[in-house]
């Protein structure tokens, strides 16, 4: 799964000039090429918890200037006994208030909520789905435009967009022309949009 995630990040990252690195081990694989990549500097690191902790301990990976921390299958990490490792990694940053954390979990055991409360400045609960309509709410128009440009199959909706274009955007979203709408809080108040499978506030 790590390799699959890395492949996607590599493809999307190259489109916006971001470099990605996959940290792997076992099977006699040499870690030297990975260390070289980390020393040069990368934008995105993909790896399981244990390998990340290992590279931090060796001084190969510095998370002080981290901007985003994304953990997938957090409930599984709990089940497999990675609680302390996750907390160790989440604590390796200078100013946690400047870091956005995304925790993906199929279930919500109490530990997941506790981690969110400790490390997140804003906690949002989201539903999960596949192939459905998604609305992402942003606080500013600039971030709305920027985020929609980075996502596949997404369009922006905010007050600086002409009314006719906003109406066409809503119509396209409702008809299924695209599945992700990135909107400011104010712009999203007007339209009556039903059948939303996922709502995210960033």
Q: How many CB atoms lie within 10 A of CB 8?
A: 11
Over residues 34-46, the pLDDT tens digits come to 888 888 889 998 8
Same domain? 74 vs 106: yes
pLDDT of residue 169: 92
Same domain? 9 vs 106: yes
At 48, which CATH number?
Answer: 3.40.50.300
CA distance 202 to 126: 11
Domain end position, chosen among 119, 145, 179: 119
Asked if 193 contacts 166 with a C-beta cutoff of 8 angstroms, the reply is no
Is 188 a residue whose pLDDT tops 60?
no
**54 CB burial (10 A radius; 0-12, 13-18, 19+):** middle
Same domain? 97 vs 186: no
Same domain? 139 vs 103: no
pLDDT of residue 167: 87
Over residues 49-103, the pLDDT tens digits come to 777 888 888 888 888 888 888 877 777 776 677 777 777 877 787 776 777 777 7
Q: Are strands 100-103 and 134-138 parallel, antiparallel or unpaired?
A: unpaired
Structural domain span for residue 42? 2-119
pLDDT of residue 126: 47
103 found inside a domain: yes
Same domain? 18 vs 110: yes
Same domain? 109 vs 22: yes
């Amino acid at each position: 799964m790590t390799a699959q995630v890395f492949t996607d990040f590599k493809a999307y990252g190259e489109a916006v000039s971001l470099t990605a690195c996959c940290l792997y081990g076992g099977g006699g694989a040499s870690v030297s090429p990975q260390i070289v990549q980390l020393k040069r500097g990368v934008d995105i690191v993909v790896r399981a918890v244990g390998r990340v902790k290992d590279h931090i301990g060796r001084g190969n990976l510095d998370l002080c200037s981290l901007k985003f921390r994304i953990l997938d299958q957090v409930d599984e990490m709990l089940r497999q006994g990675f609680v302390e490792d996750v907390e160790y990694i989440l604590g390796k940053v200078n100013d946690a208030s400047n870091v956005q954390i995304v925790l993906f979990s199929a279930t919500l055991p109490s530990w997941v909520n506790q981690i969110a409360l400790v490390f997140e400045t804003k906690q949002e609960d989201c539903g999960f789905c596949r192939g459905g309509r998604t609305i992402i709410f942003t606080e500013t128009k600039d971030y709305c435009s920027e985020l929609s440009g980075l996502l596949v199959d997404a369009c922006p909706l905010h007050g600086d967009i002409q009314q006719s274009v906003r109406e066409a955007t809503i119509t396209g979203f409702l008809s299924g022309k695209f599945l992700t709408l990135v909107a400011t809080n104010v712009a999203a108040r007007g339209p009556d949009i039903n059948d939303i499978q996922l709502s995210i506030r960033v």
